[in-house]
Structure 1
Amino acid sequence: MMEVELIFVAFLKNQKSGDSDYRFELGSLEKLLGHGSELETDGRGGVGYRCIIEPDGGPQPDDDSELYRRIGAQLAEMGDRFEQDGTITSEVVEGLVNDILSKSLTEDRFADAVKSVLSSSLPPGMEVEQATMIAAMSLTSRVGKSVPSLLQNCFTTAAAYIRRNCSSSLEQITRQADR
């Protein structure tokens, strides 16, 4: 299911960052997703690539790209609450950076980081699963802004985590935005 990745990239594009290295890594990630490839993990947080062969031999245009951009912008706006509240601490971000650098980032370790973010506070009016998804996306954004070269690795782990743990919330947001 590619929609998680496309919505996630739209979220990241809506996060404010003037860092050219971060923007370059985000552009690389976007190109990778837009050219018929999917990011895969090796189960240990390593990144690999799998080519998707389309019926006519090339990538198909995505009629839902505007929908994904709108959803990403909406989620980024919600993610700004985490930034404003200071809910994502530098210690949590540094922990993820160290896990990636030591090749020990797993979905379980990522889940622990998300839980630590949510344990301090849940934004008012936000469902737990939705907050979990936004915290995961916001953590990835902060890791990428901290060490841009680690964006793709963190993105891959976070996308798998979101797909596994937040699918009903993502489906609900997609249905609401598609009206």
Structure 2
Amino acid sequence: MEQINGSVQMECVLLYTFLEVSSDCKFKEQLQCLQSQGMVSALRGICYEAEELELQTDGNRSGHMQNGAAVFDHEVNEEVIRLIAAQLAAIGDRFDQDIKARVVNDLVQHFLNENLSAEEITQLMSEAVEGLVQAMPSDLEREKVMLVLAMLLTKKIANTMPSLLQRAFSTTVNYINRQLHNYIARLLRD
């Protein structure tokens, strides 16, 4: 699989960290393989290109805007990402029982079908998330519920069949990038 490009790096790091800090992950070894395969580039620094960072006179890197999105300091991001991922994982733990095994098993079967394109798999993931959102508490922002559900489905798919982690991971990153990129950028800014 080719390396994830910079435009989805924020989603990639958030999903990886969510999975890393989640309880009951039966696929830790496969998760480490994602990093070593280059799917998760710059895990400890998000959304910045070294040559584009501005060096301040005190030697610290400053955050700035790139393509309209905030670009953050390496040290701040690791802590912020871990904090956000832990909060989202806690919400995921609350939602865990509400996701029917049938939904996960259907997705597993789709991911096993190599005749389905990445686009078709992403659409099926989107439909699964949309279906689940309807049953979730309305006291949370819709975008937050969608984000947690997408990441939780990835975890449940990988727990069911760890060999699907790579495909589920890249599909979820693609889905999140298309549907929730601006929401995640706001989470990281706030």
Task: Name the CA shift for 1:108/1:65 in 2 (closer, same or farther; >3 Å).
Answer: same
The corresponding residue for 1:71 is: 84
Please give the alpha-carbon distance, in whole angstroms, between the structure 1 residues aligned to 2:181 and 2:35.
21
Length, aligned pairs only: 151
CA contact under 8 A between 1:75 and 1:134: conserved in structure 2?
Answer: yes
CA contact under 8 A between 1:79 and 1:134: conserved in structure 2?
Answer: yes
CA contact under 8 A between 2:12 and 2:40: conserved in structure 1?
Answer: no
The corresponding residue for 2:98 is: 87
Tell me the percent identity. Answer: 27
Give the unaligned 5+ runs of structure 1.
38-52, 56-60
Q: Counterpart amino acid of 1:112?
A: E
Give the unaligned 5+ runs of structure 2.
1-6, 44-48, 52-72
The alpha carbon displacement at 1:33 in A equals 4.1
Q: TM-score, normalised by structure 1?
A: 0.75
Please give the alpha-carbon distance, in whole angstroms, between the structure 2 residues aligned to 1:13 and 1:24.
11
Please give the alpha-carbon distance, in whole angstroms, between the structure 1 residues aligned to 2:143 and 2:25.
30
1:147 corresponds to which of 119, 137, 161: 161
The corresponding residue for 1:108 is: 123
1:15 corresponds to which of 18, 22, 29: 22
Please give the alpha-carbon distance, in whole angstroms, between the structure 1 residues aligned to 2:42 and 2:18.
20
Return the index of the structure with the highest Cα Rg: 2
Please give the alpha-carbon distance, in whole angstroms, between the structure 2 residues aligned to 1:33 and 1:72.
18
The alpha carbon displacement at 1:36 in A equals 5.7
Please give the alpha-carbon distance, in whole angstroms, between the structure 2 residues aligned to 1:75 and 1:14.
10
Q: CA RMSD in A?
A: 2.2
Please give the alpha-carbon distance, in whole angstroms, between the structure 2 residues aligned to 1:97 and 1:35.
26
CA contact under 8 A between 2:18 and 2:151: conserved in structure 1?
Answer: yes
Please give the alpha-carbon distance, in whole angstroms, between the structure 2 residues aligned to 1:73 and 1:128.
19
Q: TM-score, normalised by structure 2?
A: 0.71
Q: Counterpart amino acid of 1:82?
A: F
1:117 corresponds to which of 127, 132, 141: 132
